[in-house]
Amino acid sequence: MKDGEVTLRFGGAAGDGIASMGETFAKVCSRSGLHVSEYNSYQSAIRGGHVWLQIRAGEKKMLSQGEYADILVPLNAQTMELHAPEVASGGVVIYNSEKLKIRDGLLKQGVRGLPVPATSTASKYGKNPIMQNVVALGGVIRLLNMNLDKLSGVLQDTFGNKAKAIVDANIGAATAGYDYVDKNFGSLNAKLNFTETSRPVMSGNQATGFGALAAGLKFYAAYPMTPASSILHWLVAYAPKFGTVVKQAEDELAVINMAIGAAHVGARSMVGTSGGGFALMTEAVGQASMSETPVVIVESQRAGPSTGLPTKTEQGDLWQAIGASQGDYPKVIIAPSNVRDCYYAAGEALNIAEKYQIPVIILVDLYLSEHIETIEADDINLSVPIERGVLAGPSNGNSYARYAVTETGVSPRAFPGEAGHEYVATTDEHDEKGIIVSDVLAGIPEHIETRRRQMEKRMSKMNYILKDIPPPRIWGPEDADITLVGWGSTMQVIKEAVLNLGEKGVKANQLHIKYLMPFHAKEVEETLKKSKRVLDVEANYTGQLAKLIRAETGFNIEHRLLKYDGEPFAPRQIVEKALEVTQHA
């Protein structure tokens, strides 16, 4: 067990309440001053199957959920079989001795089994089998020398709006678990200092929803799709009272087109989906750009292709985002890299969308969307900047040119309802006033020019956006032996690998790319050319970022660590690959 941190794993079947166990424990940790990172590995089946959740808590920022657990809480035999052998030396398996057994030889040397009669203990507090989880949580609190009151507090907050009896039963079960462990096993020798500084515990999707709400989101539409659905669930619970319409539509085609309609009349609009839903939206992404309607699309990637592994993570949709819709048109792709980033990316995306009147894609993935981590309380600035871009303002009586050619490509926007600005937004090519040229003007010399000018007007936005967004910067020592390149959700795990490499005496640094379109080709090229060795780390088969970097800079990243099995990276895997690369140099 590493000083200053501990890793737990809960495992069972879908329906066993693993996720809420994780969330409860994460909050207890946070209230005890610990940082937390948690990942829930689940499957599509609603009941049954195999689910396990790993949670790592410690005194410093936890950059990943870690790899091997110190404490395993198996809720069924399958979990015992699969996970008990992986428990780290010095760790324990705390289990319901009335339901499970530890067969001989299952545990590694130095791992202890801690039997708890959880069924009978729990049965005193209710018939719900999930009460056993609470017993186990109580036991874990004791094992880690944590404060039982913190657990009771979280249970109180969670069940507070249910009957008092439920709250009492939960607290009773937790206490019983705590007492049993106290009496029979005592504490582990985990070295953990607790403080009173508690931090918000958030998933990426919650941060995205919250960030968007804070940034003035007024319209959100979605069609359920893992791993984007929880943005909908969060927003529909919190946003309507702020005058934000949150709608589930009949499909993703309706979703994006409704959002475009809402944006057209002036509402800051966003949608959320995963890769398959985004595929359906692509035609309308082009529409948004052509009609110059701002809209933000959150695409949370899951393991593809096609339906693929809906509950597993992947960074496989970068090229889909780049290639979305026919023709050349301006759009922006932002890949936030951790939960805090999600909060601000939502507002930033809404601002860019409205300033440049274009679609902005926020590319996240299942891991980032759904995993939970603590962030610093003051990481969340509740007064985020809101930029609505150039508006036409009251009509000066002259006729209004919605698509006026300007240097930046941005023309002042008007909203229906304003007198004197009546115009038609069109997806056909049009002149400055929005009159379509496709019908009877196309191909006539003057309107061949109209077309060219409108293309140039639209595309010129990209140059100005590139100036607005910060280029990526190297993190870590300038003179590193190896540079680890990545994008999106892998930022923290790569960072952890960089730190681990440093501990092993290998100087490593990190180039993490957040803005994928437009692309800081110059800066990226310069940085990579200066690097001694470059390792691309991505959760996809073809090395999609590496290919983009090559397309934009010509730079070929020789070494690749590509993962396409749906599982998140463990720091060790990156470290090992980096060691291999540096040793072979």
Ligand X SMILES: Cc1ncc(C[n+]2csc(CCOP(=O)(O)OP(=O)(O)O)c2C)c(N)n1
Contact residues for ligand X, defined by CB under 6 A? 223-225, 252, 276-277, 280, 307
- Beta-carbon contacts of 524 under 8 Å, excluding residues fewer than 6 positions away, are 471, 472, 511, 513, 549, 552, 553, 555
Options 163, 419, 440, 585; binder of a second copy; rule CB under 8 A: 440
- Closer residue to a second copy in complex, CB, 123/226: 226
Residues numbered 85 to 124 that lie near a second copy (CB under 8 A) are none
* Binding residues for a second copy restricted to 514-543, rule: CB under 8 A: 540-542
Per rule CB under 8 A, is residue 130 in the interface with another protein?
no
**Which residues, listed in sequence order, are joined to residue 550 by a DSSP beta bridge?**
none
Minimum CB separation from another protein for residue 136, in Å?
A: 23
- Among a second copy, ligand SF4, another protein, none, residue 467 binds (CB under 5-8 Å by kind): none
160 is a site residue for another protein (CB under 8 A): no
Measured from the CB of residue 45, what is the shortest distance to ligand SF4 in angstroms? Answer: 8
Could you tell which of ligand X, another protein, a second copy, none binds residue 538, using a CB distance below 5 to 8 A set by kind? none
**Mutual angle of helices 275-291 and 252-264, in 10-degree steps:** 30
Between CA 535 and CA 166 the distance in angstroms is: 52
Single out the residue of 55, 62, 221, 335 in contact with another protein (rule: CB under 8 A).
Answer: 221
- Give the nearest distance from C-beta 440 to a second copy in angstroms: 4
Pull the structure tokens for residue 279: 């595929």
Q: Which residues in the 426-455 window bind another protein by CB under 8 A? A: 426-428, 435-436, 439-440
At what angle are helices 339-356 and 204-214 packed, to 10 degrees?
40
218 binds another protein (CB under 8 A): yes
Q: Is 276 in the site for another protein (CB under 8 A)?
A: yes
* Residues 177 and 349: beta-carbon distance below 8 Å: no
Our CB check for another protein shows the closer of 325 and 553 to be 325
Backbone φ, ψ for residue 441 (5° rounding): -115, -25
Q: Determine which residue in the list 36, 107, 231, 246 makes contact with another protein, applying CB under 8 A.
A: 246
Report the site for a second copy in 448-487 (rule: CB under 8 A): 448-449, 451-452, 455, 459
List strands edge to edge, sheet with 5-14.
Answer: 112-116, 92-96, 71-74, 5-14, 48-58, 35-41, 372-374, 201-203
When CB distances are held under 5 to 8 angstroms depending on the partner's kind, the choice from ligand SF4, a second copy, ligand X, none that residue 579 binds is: none
**Which residue, judged by CB position, is nearest to ligand X in the bound state?**
225
Residue for token pair 């060790």: 572
Number of residues that bind a second copy (CB under 8 A): 84
Site for a second copy in 407-436 (CB under 8 A): 426-429
Considering beta carbons, is residue 265 or 404 the nearer one to another protein? 265
The answer to whether 381 and 208 have CB atoms below 8 angstroms apart is no
Place of tokens 């790592």: 56
Stretch that binds another protein, among 137-145, 228-236, 486-494, 503-511 (CB under 8 A): 228-236
H helix runs in 504-561, sequence order: 521-530, 544-553
**Where are the extended beta strands (E) located within 117-230?**
201-203, 219-222
Q: How far is the CB of 339 from another protein (least distance, A)?
A: 10
Q: Which DSSP string do the residues of 330-395 spell out, in sequence order? A: --EEE---SHHHHHHHHHHHHHHHHHHTSEEEEEEEHHHHH-EEE--GGG--SS-------B--S-
- Binding residue for a second copy (CB under 8 A) from 68, 319, 423, 475? 319
Identity of the residue, 215 or 575, whose beta carbon is nearer to another protein in the bound complex? 215
Per-residue interface string for the shown chain with another protein, residues 171-200, x marking contact by CB under 8 A? ---------------------------xxx
Q: Using CA atoms, how far apart are residues 115 and 112, in angstroms rounded to an integer?
A: 10
Nearer to another protein, 87 or 225 (CB): 225
Among a second copy, another protein, ligand SF4, none, what does residue 437 contact (CB within 5–8 Å per kind)? a second copy
The contact pattern for another protein, residues 353-392, with x = CB under 8 A and - = no contact, is ------------------------x--x-xx--x------
Residue of 243, 397, 470, 554 that binds a second copy (CB under 8 A): 554
The nearer residue to ligand SF4, 47 or 584, going by C-beta atoms, is 47
Burial call 172-186: b when 16+ CB within 10 Å, e when fewer? bbbbbbbebbbeebe
- Least Å distance, CB 288 to ligand SF4, is 27
Helix or strand (DSSP H, E) at 534: strand 534-538
- For ligand SF4, the binding residues (CB under 6 A) are 46-47
Q: Give residue number: closest CB to ligand SF4.
A: 46
Q: Is 407 in the site for another protein (CB under 8 A)?
A: no
With CB under 5 to 8 Å by kind, the binding choice for 223 among ligand SF4, a second copy, ligand X, none is ligand X
Within 10 A of 115 (CB to CB), how many other CB atoms are there?
17
What does the alpha-carbon distance between residue 511 and residue 554 come to, in Å, rounded to a whole number? 17
* Neighbouring C-alpha atoms within 13 Å toward the C-beta of 133: 22
Task: List C-alpha distances in Å: 382 to 214, 236, 240, 370, 570.
Answer: 6, 19, 18, 22, 33
Select from 360, 367, 368, 376 the least CA-distant residue to 324: 360
Beta strand segments in 200-301, E: 201-203, 219-222, 245-248, 269-273, 295-301
Judged by CB under 8 A, does residue 344 bind a second copy? no
Residue at 394: amino acid letter: P
Smaller CB separation from ligand SF4, 47 or 467: 47
Q: Please, what is the minimum distance in Å from the beta carbon of residue 488 to another protein?
A: 22
Q: How far is the CB of 308 from ligand SF4 (least distance, A)?
A: 19
